[in-house]
């Protein structure tokens, strides 16, 4: 549904831009510059004047004797002009009305795209342009601000927390540390904090006992009456239980990261808000729960509000990530695209957060996940509850324990979401699915379906095999070149085609025996190699021709065909280096002019795309290339669906989805 909404939004944007361009074009031609109607003249025409026919081209207007107006000849052309002017003004009013209607619809679409950074901005700019045209025509712009985030007030019968304002008369008010600036306005209508929020907390096992005690000491200092639910793998110390005046409940759990643990902790909450504080190391006055609750209380769409975080090394982060699912891949990127009340809109928070309890319980945690329960929560909010907004208010800061998370920890989460590749905001890549070389990944590949791109773990396995073959050929002084769709992928994408089904490489038939001697190297790398001596034949241009090898890897078969002559051999014979192209991070040998080869091999339109010939009903790869649209996806909304992408261009299949 979100894909259809986005597509309809983009269609509307395109329509509006066409209207804007048309209006500007006609304005420059002077066709929309109509003079305003003369209301007094129209009144005279209708009420006080009588028209007498004139034998010529004129009509004489007889004025009543008591009227001081002097006789004025009015031609037929004047009547025509007046009628045209009146009609033009009616047309402009209708145009303004139509444009305002489109602007209202566009503003609604704009708000619906709040979680899509690029499209939200583009539609917003188009809405501004449309309003400018409406104003240039004398109309009143459509105000979208009343619907914007930060202005959507919750219909609460009573203020839950007092409002705030900037207290200083100038910006030097908080000098030198600026620990003060904004402050609460005293009010009588508010709910006590112990009736508003519950604190759910876990502490790092690596934290010394005295430092754990200090965390609870901080909670007691700033929120002594608030219910605290603490989960740990061991028992609480007597000092924590007896010395501190805390409303404290304790849960013992063998796995503090498990979804079941956090589900049980959430069940303990009866307050309208809840703070999730996993693995915090300090609890200071930087944790302003009132600030986060105020933002949530004042904004109906907001369900979660977090803050920035600082680790034990002193490293600070805004705590806001954006997330994109595409081509079986989860892409994370730090940053934000929208803000209000000094808070930024996010897809994922990387630190502690406050949530609306009732709404969170409706979304719930996945009690079966052993790790990544918060990631799963944010992913579900983005994909299945796009109307619910997640924000970070960086002036609220949490001290957290920052630990490296190994790839295997997220294996269950990746399997649940069919994520085969995970790109962290740091650029680190985590592989899942059938990726070779990892203990936590499977050996079987995904089944391939028409309309779905090949999972990146499978594509990477194929790319590894191709690069291995090409490097062994080069190291052994053999002539090998990418061929067919494998060459086409290198030309268009610098990697394997996203819908590939096999791989093709050619080798010089004269190197056939030398290539067979590489068998042990292929087997040592985990690849199988089979030959076909019977495919050799003689002769072409006085040279032996033919020859065939098959190399097998996880899911894939690489077909190697012999040729009696190759361009790379000819280049070397003439004292030149063979042509190479970048292929999945490695320079590999191809024919002399790969662009010319690809164009002449596949014919017109090669830089547009079509799926593999096996998937579109062709009986051979020699059928004419017929690019168009991708096949309808059998799993609408899946990140691997090809039909949600243009069948032209390659950036949509790159690792830079935010460009």
What CATH number corresponds to the domain at position 498?
3.30.460
Q: Greater confidence, 10 or 436?
A: 436
| Domain-located, residue 384 | yes
9 membership: H or E segment, kind and range: helix 2-29
Examine the domain organization and report whether 202 and 331 are in the same domain.
Answer: yes
Examine the domain organization and report whether 536 and 620 are in the same domain.
Answer: yes
Cα separation, 501 vs 471, in Å, equals 22
Question: 467 near 586, Cβ under 8 Å?
Answer: yes
| Domain-located, residue 140 | no
Given 381, 401, 423, which residue is the final one in a domain?
423
| Domain-located, residue 136 | no
Distances from the Cα of 613 to the Cα of 77, 94, 456, 617, angstroms: 69, 52, 20, 6
Nearest to 544 by CA among 560, 562, 561, 526: 562
- 3-class DSSP state of 93: helix
pTM: 0.75
Examine the domain organization and report whether 466 and 417 are in the same domain.
Answer: no
Examine the domain organization and report whether 391 and 503 are in the same domain.
Answer: no
Question: 627 near 620, Cβ under 8 Å?
Answer: no
Category of 423 on φ-ψ map: left (φ > 0), alpha (ψ -120 to 50) or beta: beta
Nearest to 11 by CA among 123, 121, 100: 123
Examine the domain organization and report whether 468 and 566 are in the same domain.
Answer: yes
Examine the domain organization and report whether 317 and 387 are in the same domain.
Answer: yes
Domain harbouring 269, CATH code: 3.90.550.10
65-79, 89-103, 485-499: segment of lowest average pLDDT: 65-79
pLDDT at 483: 97
Given 375, 401, 423, which residue is the final one in a domain?
423
pLDDT at 236: 79
In the chain, what percentage of residues exceed pLDDT 70? 80
Examine the domain organization and report whether 407 and 514 are in the same domain.
Answer: no
Examine the domain organization and report whether 328 and 266 are in the same domain.
Answer: yes
Buried b (16+ CB within 10 A) or exposed e, 330-361: bbbbbebbbebeebbbbbbbbbbbbbbbebbe
45 pLDDT higher than 60: no
| Domain-located, residue 70 | no
545 pLDDT higher than 80: yes
Q: How confident is the model at residue 118 (pLDDT cuts 50, 70, 90)?
A: low
12 membership: H or E segment, kind and range: helix 2-29
Buried b (16+ CB within 10 A) or exposed e, 631-652: bebeeeebbbbbebbebeeeeb
Question: 421 near 37, Cβ under 8 Å?
Answer: no
Examine the domain organization and report whether 386 and 505 are in the same domain.
Answer: no
| Domain-located, residue 392 | yes
pLDDT at 484: 95
> CB atoms < 10 A from the CB of 526, how many?
14
Can you say how many angstroms the Cα of residue 137 is from the centroid of all Cα atoms in its chain?
A: 37
The DSSP annotation for 497-560 comes to -TT---EEEEEEGGGHHHHHTTHHHHHHTT-EEEEEEEEEEEEETTEEEEEEEEEE-SS-EEEE
66 pLDDT higher than 80: no
Examine the domain organization and report whether 217 and 272 are in the same domain.
Answer: yes
| Domain-located, residue 380 | yes
| Domain-located, residue 643 | yes
Examine the domain organization and report whether 497 and 384 are in the same domain.
Answer: no
581 membership: H or E segment, kind and range: strand 580-583
Total number of domains in the chain: 2
What is the span of the domain harbouring residue 329? 182-423
pLDDT tens-place string over residues 341-368? 999 999 999 999 999 999 999 999 999 9
Question: 294 near 273, Cβ under 8 Å?
Answer: no
124 membership: H or E segment, kind and range: helix 117-136
| Domain-located, residue 584 | yes
Instruction: Count helices and strands (H / E) in the chain.
Output: 17, 28
384 pLDDT higher than 50: yes
Please provide residue 419's backbone torsions phi and psi, each rounded to the nearest 5 degrees: -90, 120
Please give the mean pLDDT across all residues of the chain. 84
């Amino acid at each position: 549904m979100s894909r259809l909404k986005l597509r309809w939004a983009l269609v509307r944007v395109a329509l509006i831009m066409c209207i804007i361009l048309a209006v500007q074009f006609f304005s420059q031609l002077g066709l929309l510059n109509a003079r305003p109607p003369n209301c007094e003249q129209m009144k005279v025409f209708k009420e006080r004047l009588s028209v007498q026919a004139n034998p010529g081209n004129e009509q004489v207007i007889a004025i009543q004797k008591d009227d001081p107006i002097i006789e004025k000849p009015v031609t037929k052309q004047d009547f025509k002009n007046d009628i045209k002017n009146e009609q033009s003004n009616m047309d402009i009013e209708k145009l303004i009305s139509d444009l305002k209607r489109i602007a209202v619809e566009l503003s609604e679409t704009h708000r619906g795209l709040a979680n899509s950074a690029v499209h939200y901005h583009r539609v917003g700019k188009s809405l501004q342009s449309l309003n400018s045209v409406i104003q240039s025509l004398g109309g009143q712009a459509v105000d979208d601000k009343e619907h914007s985030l930060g202005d959507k007030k919750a219909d609460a019968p009573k203020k839950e927390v007092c409002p705030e304002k900037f207290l200083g008369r100038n910006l030097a008010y908080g000098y030198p540390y600026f620990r003060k600036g904004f402050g609460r306005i005293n009010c009588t209508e508010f709910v006590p904090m112990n009736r508003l929020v519950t604190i759910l907390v876990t502490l790092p096992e690596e934290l010394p006992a005295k430092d754990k005690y200090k965390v609870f000491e901080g909670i007691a200092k700033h929120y002594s009456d608030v219910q605290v639910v603490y989960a740990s793998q061991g028992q609480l110390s007597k000092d924590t239980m007896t010395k501190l005046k805390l409303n404290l409940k304790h849960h013992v759990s063998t796995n503090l990261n498990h979804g079941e643990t956090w589900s049980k902790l959430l069940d303990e909450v009866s307050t309208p808000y809840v703070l999730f504080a996993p693995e915090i190391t300090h609890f200071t006055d930087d944790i302003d729960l009132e600030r986060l609750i105020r933002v949530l209380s004042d904004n109906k769409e907001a369900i979660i509000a977090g803050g920035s975080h600082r680790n034990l090394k002193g490293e600070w982060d805004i705590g806001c990530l954006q997330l994109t699912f595409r081509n079986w891949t989860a892409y994370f990127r730090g940053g934000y695209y929208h803000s209000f009340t000094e808070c930024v809109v996010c897809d994922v928070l990387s630190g502690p957060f406050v949530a609306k309890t009732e709404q969170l319980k409706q979304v719930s945690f996945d009690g079966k996940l052993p790790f990544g329960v918060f990631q799963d929560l944010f992913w579900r909010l983005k994909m299945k509850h796009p109307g619910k907004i997640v924000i970070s208010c960086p002036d609220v800061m949490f001290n957290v324990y920052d630990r490296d998370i190994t790839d295997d920890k997220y294996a269950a989460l990746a399997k649940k979401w069919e994520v085969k590749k995970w790109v962290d905001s740091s650029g680190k890549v985590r592989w899942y699915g059938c990726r070779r070389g990892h203990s936590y990944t499977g050996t079987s590949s995904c089944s391939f379906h028409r309309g779905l791109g090949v999972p990146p773990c499978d594509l990477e396995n194929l790319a590894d095999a191709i690069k291995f073959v090409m490097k062994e050929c080069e190291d052994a002084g053999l002539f090998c070149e990418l061929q067919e769709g494998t060459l086409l992928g290198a030309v268009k994408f610098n990697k394997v085609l996203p819908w590939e089904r096999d791989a093709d490489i050619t080798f010089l038939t004269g190197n056939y025996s030398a290539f067979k001697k590489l068998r042990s190297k292929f087997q040592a790398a985990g690849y199988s190699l089979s030959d076909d001596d019977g495919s050799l034949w003689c002769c072409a241009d006085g040279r032996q021709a033919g020859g065939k090898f098959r190399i097998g890897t996880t899911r894939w078969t690489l077909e190697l065909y012999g040729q009696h002559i190759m361009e790379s051999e000819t280049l070397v014979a003439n004292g030149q280096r063979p042509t190479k192209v970048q292929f999945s991070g490695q320079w590999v040998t191809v024919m002399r002019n790969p662009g010319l080869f690809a164009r002449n091999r596949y014919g017109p339109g090669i830089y547009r795309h079509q799926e593999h010939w096996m998937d579109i009903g062709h009986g051979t790869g020699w059928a004419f290339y017929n690019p168009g649209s991708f096949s309808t996806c059998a799993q609408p909304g899946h990140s691997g669906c090809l039909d949600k992408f243009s069948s032209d261009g390659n950036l949509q299949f790159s690792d830079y989805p935010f460009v």
